[in-house]
């Protein structure tokens, strides 16, 4: 009898593949174009150059996503992972771009960081033992909680909008949220799995007559836009710029490691040292290509991790299809303008569900950790507090050096590094008697078994749902 294919490797029918893929694109589009808009805006680039940066970004997002999901030799984690520009690079790139170096200096530092990520990938792979359920659950929880303010800003109308917080914006977001929940609860089969897409389509349809958005920008866009290598000039390599971007590379790899492990737990496919190294190597390759094709460093997009958990569609080919859609958007500016017309409150309503799902997944992982007679509760408490500090107080580290800001102003990287450090302190370093903390290690192993049993039970329940 032919063995059953793992859900990660299943290929849905073409119609479902396109619908699920489009759902992922809509979930990440606003975040994907935010980095080129912020960097280009800070450098006061003309509209034509901003449009060029956005098209180049979408094209490389798609290529990076396909590489990550499908894989090529030792490049690609082969899990449902969406790729996009990392926000950890925004502050350093703005400082480089406005400090006299311009885009060539940015791209020179991006090229070096991409190469460094490829070389460091095996090192990170060997560190996987320092990511037990105690750490991964905490990191996933911090990821979800850190993203919720993003959804809140969208729901209020988008950061900096003239009508930020207007009742009509929050009302539209609430309508989308209710639609998503209703479709997920009452729609049969396939429709229930595209609840986010249904909510976004319904919300956008309602937004047009209410004056939230229009599609006039579609007609003004070009039909074809192709990013050519080093469009803004040959890259330059400045020591300070390269150093700051290398810090970004390490931060990005740390965040991505948490995302990979989260998706691995959701889908039931273990992320071992080899798979982690392959995924990080693909991140580095995408970043290297970004430096060539006029865009920025790439990383796994956490918002799509929530979508994988919410829809329980675990196929990597679905996300690869989303990557293909992004390539089309990058080559066809009219299609990009069409997707860009989705108003922020619509994305906010859907984002509340998706990002909340990420946080809930972290709680589910932590449920298998033993908190009795050990310091594990302290590890979680302090890590979550440190991770949410820059989220709740955005300017808290403004007086610190730029390298420190690069690491700690990202709540995800701050929480992740804290969880790793505290786990080492309490569960790996020798105790006063000179012996390693064996009891907590044993309890973590038991937690691993609980998670494994839970994962098998989830798989049985899901296969039962499919049979029904």
At residue 274's C-alpha, the angle toward residues 369 and 61, to 5°, is 95
Give burial (CB, 10 Å; 0-12/13-18/19+) of 119.
exposed
Rounded CA gap, 138 and 271, in Å? 17
Other CB atoms within 10 A of residue 29 CB: 22
How is residue 52 written in tokens? 């060029």
Strand partners, 300: 83
Nearest to 338 by CA among 197, 194, 176, 213: 213
pLDDT confidence of residue 452: 40
Q: Per-residue pLDDT for the chain (468 aa), expressed as one digit of tens each?
A: 556 788 899 999 999 999 889 888 877 876 777 778 778 777 877 767 877 888 888 899 999 999 999 999 999 999 999 998 887 777 778 878 887 788 999 999 999 999 999 999 998 888 877 878 888 788 878 878 887 887 888 889 877 778 888 899 899 999 999 998 998 888 887 777 788 888 888 888 888 888 777 666 666 666 777 778 998 889 999 887 888 788 788 878 877 887 898 888 888 888 888 999 999 999 999 999 999 998 889 988 877 887 887 778 899 999 999 999 999 888 877 766 666 677 888 888 888 887 787 788 788 888 888 898 889 999 999 999 998 998 888 889 889 887 787 678 777 778 888 998 999 999 887 765 555 554 444 444 434 443 443 443 344 334 333 333
Helix residue ranges per DSSP H, 232-375:
239-267, 273-292, 302-311, 316-331, 333-340, 344-366
Rounded CA gap, 85 and 31, in Å? 8
Nearest to 109 by CA among 121, 86, 93: 93
Give burial (CB, 10 Å; 0-12/13-18/19+) of 431.
exposed
pLDDT confidence of residue 450: 39
Rounded CA gap, 121 and 116, in Å? 9
Beta-carbon contacts of residue 102 (< 8 Å; ≥ 6 apart): 43, 232
For 300, which DSSP code? Answer: E
Nearest to 80 by CA among 270, 366, 354, 313: 313
Nearest to 157 by CA among 337, 28, 30, 22: 30
Contact at 8 Å (CB) between 52 and 218? no
Contact at 8 Å (CB) between 112 and 242? yes
pLDDT confidence of residue 235: 92
Rounded CA gap, 9 and 70, in Å? 10
342: left (phi over 0), alpha (psi -120 to 50) or beta: beta
């Amino acid at each position: 009898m032919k063995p059953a294919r793992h859900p990660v490797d299943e290929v849905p029918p073409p119609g479902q593949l396109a619908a699920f893929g489009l759902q992922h694109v809509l979930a990440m589009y606003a975040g994907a174009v935010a980095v080129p808009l912020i960097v280009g805006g800070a450098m006061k680039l003309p509209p034509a150059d901003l449009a060029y940066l956005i098209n180049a970004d979408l094209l490389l997002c798609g290529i990076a996503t396909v590489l990550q999901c499908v894989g090529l030799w030792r490049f690609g984690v082969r899990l449902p992972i969406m790729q996009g520009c990392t926000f950890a690079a925004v502050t350093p790139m703005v400082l480089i771009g406005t400090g006299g170096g311009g885009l060539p200096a940015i791209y020179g530092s991006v090229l070096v960081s991409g190469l460094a990520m490829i070389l460091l990938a095996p090192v990170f792979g060997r560190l996987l033992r320092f990511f037990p359920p105690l750490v991964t659950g905490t990191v996933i929880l911090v990821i979800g909680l850190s993203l919720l303010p993003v959804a809140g800003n969208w729901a209020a109308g988008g950061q900096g909008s003239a009508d930020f917080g207007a009742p009509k914006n929050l009302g539209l977001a609430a309508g989308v949220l209710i639609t998503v929940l209703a479709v997920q609860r009452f729609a049969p089969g396939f429709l229930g799995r595209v609840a986010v897409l249904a909510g976004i389509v319904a919300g956008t349809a309602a937004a047009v007559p209410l004056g939230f958005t229009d599609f006039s920008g579609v007609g003004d866009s070009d039909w074809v836009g192709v990013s050519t290598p080093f469009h803004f000039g040959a890259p330059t390599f400045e020591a300070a710029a390269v150093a700051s971007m290398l810090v970004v590379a390490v931060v990005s790899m740390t965040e991505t490691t948490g995302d990979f492990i989260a998706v691995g737990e959701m889908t039931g496919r273990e992320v071992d040292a080899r798979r982690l190294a392959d995924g990080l190597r693909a991140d580095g390759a995408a970043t290297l290509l970004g430096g060539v094709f006029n865009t920025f460093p790439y990383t796994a997009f956490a918002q799509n991790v929530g979508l994988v958990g919410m829809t329980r569609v675990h196929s990597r080919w679905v996300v690869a299809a989303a990557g293909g859609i992004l390539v089309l958007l990058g080559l066809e500016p009219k299609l990009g303008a069409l997707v860009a017309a989705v108003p922020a409150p619509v994305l906010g309503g859907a984002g509340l569900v998706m990002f909340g799902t990420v946080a809930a997944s972290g709680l589910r992982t932590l449920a298998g950790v033993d908190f009795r007679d050990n310091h594990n509760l302290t590890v979680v408490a302090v890590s979550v507090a440190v991770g949410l500090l820059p989220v709740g107080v955005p300017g808290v580290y403004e007086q610190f050096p730029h390298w420190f800001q690069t690491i700690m102003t990202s709540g995800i990287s701050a929480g992740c590094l804290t969880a790793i450090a505290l786990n080492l302190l309490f569960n790996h370093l020798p105790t006063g008697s000179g012996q390693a903390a064996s009891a907590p290690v044993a309890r973590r192993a038991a937690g691993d078994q609980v998670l494994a049993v839970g994962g098998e039970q989830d798989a049985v329940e899901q296969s039962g749902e499919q049979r029904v």
